[in-house]
Chains A and B, each alone.
Chain A
Amino acid sequence: MIETFELTKHFDNFVAVQDVSLSVRTGEVLALLGPNGAGKTTTVRMLTSILAPTAGTARVAGFDVVRQPEEVRAHVGVLTEGHGLYLRMRGREYLDFFGELYGLDRAARQQHGTQLAGRFGLADALDRRLGEYSKGMRQKLALVRAMLHDPPVLMLDEPTSAMDPHSARQVRNAIRDLRGDGRTILLCTHNLPEAEELADRIAIIRQGKIIALGTPADLKTRLLGPPLLELRLAGAVNGVAHDLSDLVEIESQGPTWLRYRTPAPEAINPQVIYRLAALGVEVVTLSEVPQSLEDVYLRVVGEEERV
């Protein structure tokens, strides 16, 4: 549903996006992560035919972003970085305006608008002016605007920013439902737990280039290495590391715990337990240390891993 091949964008002497090649299937959620200025917004703008690429090609919903810009925009719903609402308009009017721009007839505009607004708890606020809305309400209305014309592709830039936890949960549920409906979603976010929760795959972009692409599990394995296991003992560690040195390489240790990595935990862990039991060392727990997407992200964009 979204295909890019060596998509590149130059602004004068500055390379904003370079050789970005992505393929997002129908019904897939791809999260685009990256530091500020990495090229996420520029990529989204090229995919919505607002900016023309300097080089490379892209097709969205089967349409070429350069040769068929109106068709692309008709099949894409965009939640932009700034919500961009007209503050003197009422909510209902605002949705009616954009629905008309997207070619919906009056009945469809009213029905979709009311339905979507209700889904996000905005039904009672539709007759109020947008200037009276809170930040979270504005963000939700902008999301409703993006979904109004039932597009097969959604590009969401920070969809849950400025939202309280309840509202953010509503939005995430909506995104899951959309994926279930077969929508394709490109999600730009700094919220790593959200990306991990929602995305089928994650692309990390830095200085305009995709530097990592894969499922969260793939990325963790590929970039962080084998699983990290923590062994907690009832007593002090005292020489246990040496006793296990032929089985595992201890990565770090504390007064009563050890951590090690192994590519084959199913084979190695029982041996470790057995060896400690034979030595009379009491084991409290042996568990995997959760490795977060944040660890992946920080490793990939060049900062130190936090353990």
Chain B
Amino acid sequence: MATLAPSVQQTGTGLPRWLALAHWNVSRALIVTRREVLDMFRDWRIVAPTIVLTVIFPYIANWGAGRMLSFVERFGASLIGDRLIPFLLMVVGFFPISFSLIIALETFVGEKERRSLEPLLATPLTNTQLYIGKTLSSTIPPLMGSLLGVTVYLVGVYRNLEWVPSATLLLQIILLNLIQALVMVAAAVVVSSQTTSVRAANLLASFIIIPMAFLIQAEALIMFWANYTVLWLIIVGLVVVMILLVRMGIRIFNREELIGGEIDELNLLGALRQWLALTLARHGEGPRRSAWQWYRQEVLAVVGRMWSAMGVLSLAMVVAYFIGLRYADVYRIPTELFRTEDWFARFQLTMEQAGLTNLRGVLWVLSQNTRVLAVASLLAVFSFGVLAIMLLMVPLGLVGYLNAHILIAGMDPMLAWAALFPHGMIEIPAALLAGAAAVRLGATVISPPPGKTVGEAWMEALADATRLWFAAVLPLLLVAAVAEIYVTPWLVGLVAGGR
């Protein structure tokens, strides 16, 4: 009879339960990993390119580095050669890693196509064990190839050029390759577990390859710039992304969708109908609701569901404000530009010349704010909400920056509040609501509520965001725009004594 998770007493190890369970999960996952790695090395289509990339290519890179070095030295440009060698070290380590993407893309959906997935799903393996097992199997061989390639290259470079990397640089390269492999594998496993054909998985791989290609180019620039400290920041950022992707993969892993056949079907009309139905939130059964009841249940209730996103965004905005205050000391605007009499008169003139003192101004401010929040929402979808937070931090950072300069210039501190408060007290909540809805849209992909698929949860989040926009955000932005054009300048003039 099959055995399941042992209790701590049964393990006899005396380990804490969480550690015993982690050990048991990993040991079960490694059963899958072992099989897949052995199977990989039986496939000549994987073995042959691996040998080429891990042995032949580093040798060629080493030979090329030597020739390039002697060539540029003839022209006194030895710096290029000096920077090329570490750069090629990074390239040699990365190329075998690129294979991890192909292996990982195929890991779930390929088995499904070969009909070998269902017997595996019918075993007592848990979702986590299966997921970890396949992730490790996609990572270990390419990583081994990467280390082998780096070793071949370093041996050659040492023998020919007597070049030895610093321990820090070597550690950075190894860590970078490891984390990049894990990021690509984690993303590819998500794609593979959510598609129903290898073809679809390969097409979706563009969403992984293109960002990685940009990242590698950025790393190449850094290598030639020789500011290797920046690599640590990249490593930390990639670790965060990797954790998010692995968490996302485990959370949305769904046996049912894996063996289903309908995921790849695109039904735009159906999606549109569903979005409309969810947005209008009509309930066929039950008593008819008044407009206020509908508003309270379907709009204000959404705000309640977004409390964590609003909390995160509020914190980010506060942090941005203080960052703005801090950087006012670093990047100073000349104080003479803040002379109140001239400043206010110039400001009024500029506004009049731009035609922003009337309804046109209201519409312009409204469109500008709407556009920013819409862009933030769009960016949130592709960045798990991170870019939306960053984008919405910028204006608060600027406010902090300018407020600091008002204080530095010795002006009335009330001026800062007068310039912000009338429209800000409406605009900031509107931005908070729209931003939180955007963050929720992005974060839903990582962590859909239990019992719901990613698609279902995302559609609900989109419908909530739509309702919120039309019923709260846009009205608030309109009122804020009116205040910004008609009330704020009046109040600033009152405080500044210009009127």
Contact = CB atoms under 8 A, between A and B. Distances in A.
B2 A142 contact: no
A51 interface: yes
Interface string A222-265: 00000000000000000000000000000000000000000000
A50 B35 contact: no
Most chain A beta-carbon neighbours within 10 Å: one of B2, B4, B28, B39: B2
Nearest to A88: B42
A82 B114 CA distance: 9
Interface stretch (A66-74, A207-215, A268-276, A296-304): A66-74
Contact of B1 (A73, A83, A145, A149): A149
Closest 6 CB pairs of A and B: A103-B3, A82-B115, A74-B2, A102-B2, A84-B116, A74-B124
Contacts of B114: 84
B43 interface: yes
A284 to B, nearest CB: 55
B123 A102 contact: yes
Contacts of A102: 2, 123-124
A98 B119 contact: yes
Nearest to A80: B118
Nearest to A157: B118
B255 A51 contact: yes
Nearest to A48: B122
B3 A78 contact: no
Contact of A149 (B2, B31, B255): B2
Nearest to B254: A52
Contacts of A89: 35, 39
A198 interface: no
A30 B28 CA distance: 33
Contacts of A71: 4, 124
Contacts of A101: 28, 31-32, 120, 123-125
Listed residue (A52, A73, A76) with the most chain B CB atoms within 10 angstroms of its CB: A73
Contacts of A88: 39, 42-43
Interface in B35-53: 35, 39, 42-43
A73 B255 CA distance: 13
Contacts of B355: none
Contacts of B35: 86, 89, 97
A80 B43 CA distance: 26
A19 interface: no
Interface stretch (B9-17, B256-264, B320-328, B425-433): B256-264
A45 B39 contact: no
B4 A50 contact: no
A50 B118 contact: yes
Interface string A57-95: 000000000000011011110101111111011000000
A150 B121 contact: no
Given A50-B259, A74-B4, A145 B119 contact: yes
B122 A50 contact: yes
7 contacts: A11-B262, A45-B259, A50-B259, A51-B255, A74-B124, A101-B32, A150-B1
Give the interface centre of B115, B117, B124, B260 by most chain A CB atoms within 10 Å.
Answer: B124
A11 B260 CA distance: 9
A73 B42 contact: no
Contacts of A282: none
Given A12-B262, A97-B35, A103-B4, 10 more contacts: A50-B255, A52-B256, A70-B4, A70-B124, A70-B125, A74-B1, A84-B115, A102-B123, A149-B2, A150-B1
Nearest to A12: B262
B126 interface: yes
B126 A50 contact: no
A149 B124 CA distance: 11
Interface residues on chain A, size class: 35 or more
Nearest to A142: B119
Nearest to B126: A70
A100 B43 CA distance: 23
A283 interface: no
The B contact surface, by secondary structure, is loop
Contacts of A150: 1
A162 interface: no
A171 interface: no
Contacts of B28: 101
B115 A97 contact: no
Contacts of B120: 84, 101
Interface string A110-129: 00000000000000000000
A86 B116 contact: yes
A168 interface: no
Given A88-B43, A103-B4, A150-B1, A78 B124 contact: no
A104 interface: yes
Contacts of B5: 70
Contact of B2 (A50, A52, A104): A104
A192 B118 CA distance: 26
Contact of B118 (A70, A84, A104): A84
Contacts of B3: 74, 103
Nearest to B43: A88
B256 A50 contact: yes
Contacts of A142: 119
Contacts of A100: 31
Contacts of A11: 260, 262
Contacts of A74: 1-4, 124
Nearest to A46: B256
A78 to B, nearest CB: 4
The residue in B4, B32, B125 that gathers the most chain A C-beta atoms within 10 A of its C-beta is B4
A96 to B, nearest CB: 9
A84 B119 CA distance: 7
A129 B32 CA distance: 19
Contacts of A84: 114-120
B123 A73 contact: yes
Contact of A75 (B2, B31, B125, B262): B2
A76 B255 CA distance: 17
A10 to B, nearest CB: 12
A120 to B, nearest CB: 17
Contact of B31 (A52, A76, A78, A97): A97
A11 to B, nearest CB: 7
Interface string B252-274: 00011001101000000000000
Interface string B15-39: 0000000000000100110010001
Nearest to A82: B115
Given A89-B39, A97-B31, A78 B122 contact: yes
Nearest to B5: A70
Nearest to A72: B124
Nearest to B114: A84
Contacts of A86: 35, 39, 116
A103 B121 CA distance: 15
Nearest to A100: B31
Nearest to A13: B270
Contacts of B121: 50
Nearest to A104: B2
